């Protein structure tokens, strides 16, 4: 793809960014989760350019960002009481709702699905951009496809300078991992992608049980804390016929650093020992090793730092990343583990 001139804008130049969106261009902008790469969601040609800039498979649908909760009516024909409750409790914020789509939403935006993912981000810059552009904005994370999601302006510049019309240089993202994706288009609300809004938060708001998409347990026993072999269902893997994720994005390998990466899982003290042992062993053989080990149960901090650490270690050109697993079966730690395991290509050492 030929390179183009990319304007680096400050948050005082949002009007310029809005103009670019209105005229079918691409703008990367901060949200509270990660940076997004935005285009007018109702303009199929503009959305096609997002896939091209990211190098993203075109069956992977995009999240549509709105600037006022009431704008969801432009995108979906039907709002259930649960959807309204979720909007009242969690918007603006890191919760994407997958709802039935109206015909006017282009196939390009939804990857041809009859549903659309919608969220109202909790970031003044993002909201101002959407409201000034006066259209819903389709925005996947603003990284090259397959790379770690960008949580800082410099990460976006590294990936997309020369490929998009503008990048708004805003603050580092508060959350650090992408929004929770909740499918509310069917009978049972189902989490398709975990985030910092957890099943417990959602269940408390709507007063009913939330399901987890089986694809979230790919290569994993349902209960990571169970004894080896005691789990009721064997883990699925990518090649299983049973593995048919509702969220097309789940199929693709993701978030990969340049370095080789291994996750070490088990009792905390043993994990620390194993990391030290593997580090020493690899360094002795001339490899540069990076370690990612978060404080025990500091899940929010882990979410905030994880992608930034991967990118920093790549900049330091380490050969191998050793990451300590977080023990959490369905909360924020689980959401971080979802990213960590994908980054490592499910390369797991159990101790
Ligand atoms: O926090 C976020 O959600 C960020 C910021 C920029 O808002 N965006 C983001 O977008 O993470 P993206 O495109 O990288 O991830 C969207 C995920 C994908 O896994 C996709 O498959 C799923 O949401 N998704 C989107 N629309 C869907 C739909 N209609 N049905 C099922 N899954 C959907
Ligand atoms: Mg992404």
CATH of the domain at 101: 3.90.870.10
Query: How many angstroms separate the alpha carbon of residue 284 from the centre of ligand 2?
Result: 36
> How many other CB atoms sit within 10 Å of the CB of residue 298?
14
Same domain, 87 and 32: yes
Same domain, 181 and 252: no
> Torsion angle, CA of 206/208/211/212, rounded to 10 degrees?
50
Ligand 1 atom nearest to 250, measured from its CA = 19
Mean pLDDT (the chain, rounded): 91
Nearest to 131 by CA among 141, 140, 121: 121
Does residue 333 belong to any structural domain of this protein?
yes
Digit-coded pLDDT (tens) for 222-261: 554 444 444 445 455 555 555 555 655 555 557 889 999 9
Pocket of ligand 1 (CB under 6 A): 31, 33-34, 36, 60-63, 94, 96, 98, 110, 113, 115-117, 121, 139-141, 178-179, 181, 192-193, 246-249
Query: How many angstroms separate the alpha carbon of residue 58 from the centre of ligand 1?
Result: 13
Nearest to 288 by CA among 257, 319, 248: 319
Does residue 2 belong to any structural domain of this protein?
no
Does residue 28 belong to any structural domain of this protein?
yes
Q: Do the beta carbons of residue 150 and residue 141 sit within 8 Å?
A: yes
Same domain, 90 and 181: yes
β-pairing verdict for 95-100 and 180-183: parallel
Same domain, 15 and 138: yes
Domain boundary among 182, 212, 242: 212
CA distance 258 to 331: 28
CA distance 239 to 256: 20
- Confidence at residue 210, expressed as pLDDT on a 0 to 100 scale: 97
- Confidence at residue 60, expressed as pLDDT on a 0 to 100 scale: 84
Same domain, 71 and 171: yes
User: Which residue has the CA at smallest separation from atom 30 of ligand 1?
Assistant: 247
Query: How many angstroms separate the alpha carbon of residue 140 from the centre of ligand 2?
Result: 6
- Confidence at residue 311, expressed as pLDDT on a 0 to 100 scale: 97
Which DSSP helix (H) or strand (E) runs through 180? strand 180-183
Query: At CA 129, angle to CA 123 and CA 135, rounded to 5?
Result: 120
Same domain, 67 and 120: yes
Same domain, 184 and 273: no
Nearest to 332 by CA among 176, 189, 223, 226: 176
Same domain, 337 and 303: yes
Domain boundary among 160, 184, 212: 212
Question: Which residues, in sequence order, are bridge partners of residue 37?
Answer: 28
Does residue 330 belong to any structural domain of this protein?
yes
Same domain, 245 and 143: no
CA distance 190 to 211: 5
Does residue 61 belong to any structural domain of this protein?
yes
Does residue 1 belong to any structural domain of this protein?
no
Domain boundary among 191, 212, 233: 212
Ligand 1 atom nearest to 139, measured from its CA = 6
Q: At what angle do helices 299-315 and 332-343 cross, to 10 degrees?
A: 20
Strands (E), 27-135: 27-29, 36-40, 63-65, 95-100, 115-119
Same domain, 263 and 333: yes
Domain that holds residue 16: 7-212
- Confidence at residue 249, expressed as pLDDT on a 0 to 100 scale: 55
Give the mean pLDDT per block of 10 residues along the chain (351 residues): 89 97 98 98 97 86 97 95 98 98 95 96 98 98 94 98 98 98 96 97 97 84 49 51 56 79 95 97 96 95 98 97 90 95 92 94
Ligand 1 atom nearest to 115, measured from its CA = 29
What pTM, to 2 d.p., does this model score? 0.93
Same domain, 18 and 164: yes
Digit-coded pLDDT (tens) for 176-207: 999 999 999 999 999 999 999 999 999 999 99
- Confidence at residue 232, expressed as pLDDT on a 0 to 100 scale: 47
Query: How many angstroms separate the alpha carbon of residue 11 from the centre of ligand 2?
Result: 23
- Confidence at residue 227, expressed as pLDDT on a 0 to 100 scale: 46
Q: How many domains does the chain have?
A: 2
- Confidence at residue 329, expressed as pLDDT on a 0 to 100 scale: 76
User: Which residue has the CA at smallest separation from atom 7 of ligand 1?
Assistant: 36
Tokens representing 151 are 């949580």
Does residue 183 belong to any structural domain of this protein?
yes
Same domain, 280 and 324: yes
Burial status of residue 219 (CB atoms within 10 A of its CB: 0-12, 13-18, 19 or more)? middle
- Confidence at residue 228, expressed as pLDDT on a 0 to 100 scale: 46
């Amino acid at each position: 793809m030929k390179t183009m001139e990319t304007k680096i804008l400050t948050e005082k130049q949002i009007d310029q960014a809005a103009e670019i969106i209105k005229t079918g261009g691409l703008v990367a902008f901060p949200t509270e989760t990660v940076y997004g790469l935005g285009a007018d969601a109702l303009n199929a040609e503009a959305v096609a350019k997002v896939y091209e800039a990211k190098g993203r498979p075109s069956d992977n649908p995009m999240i549509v960002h709105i600037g006022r909760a009431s704008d969801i009516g432009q995108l979906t024909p039907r709002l259930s009481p649960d959807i309204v409750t979720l909007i009242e409790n969690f918007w603006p914020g890191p919760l994407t709702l997958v709802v039935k789509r109206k015909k006017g939403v282009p196939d390009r935006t939804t990857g041809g699905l009859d549903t659309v993912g919608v969220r109202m981000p909790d970031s003044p810059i993002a909201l101002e951009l959407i409201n000034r552009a006066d259209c819903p904005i389709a925005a996947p994370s603003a990284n090259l496809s397959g790379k770690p999601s960008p949580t800082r302006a410099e990460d976006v510049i590294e990936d997309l300078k020369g490929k998009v019309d503008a990048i708004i240089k805003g603050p580092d993202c508060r959350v650090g991992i992408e929004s929770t994706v909740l499918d509310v288009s069917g009978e049972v609300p189902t989490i398709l992608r975990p985030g910092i809004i957890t099943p417990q938060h959602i269940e408390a708001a709507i007063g009913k049980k939330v399901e987890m998409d089986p694809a979230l347990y790919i290569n994993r026993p349902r209960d990571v804390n169970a004894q080896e072999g005691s789990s009721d269902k064997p883990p699925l893997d990518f090649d299983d016929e049973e593995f048919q994720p509702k969220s097309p994005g789940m199929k693709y390998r993701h978030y990969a650093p340049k370095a080789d990466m291994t996750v070490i899982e088990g009792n905390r003290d043993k994990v620390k020992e194993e990391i030290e042992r593997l580090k020493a062993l690899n360094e002795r053989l001339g490899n540069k090793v990076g370690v990612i080990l978060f404080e025990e149960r500091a899940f929010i901090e882990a979410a905030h730092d994880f992608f930034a650490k991967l990118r920093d270690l790549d900049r330091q050109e380490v050969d191998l990343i050793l990451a300590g697993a977080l023990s959490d079966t369905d909360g924020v730690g689980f959401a971080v583990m979802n990213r960590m395991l994908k980054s490592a290509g499910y390369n797991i050492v159990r101790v």
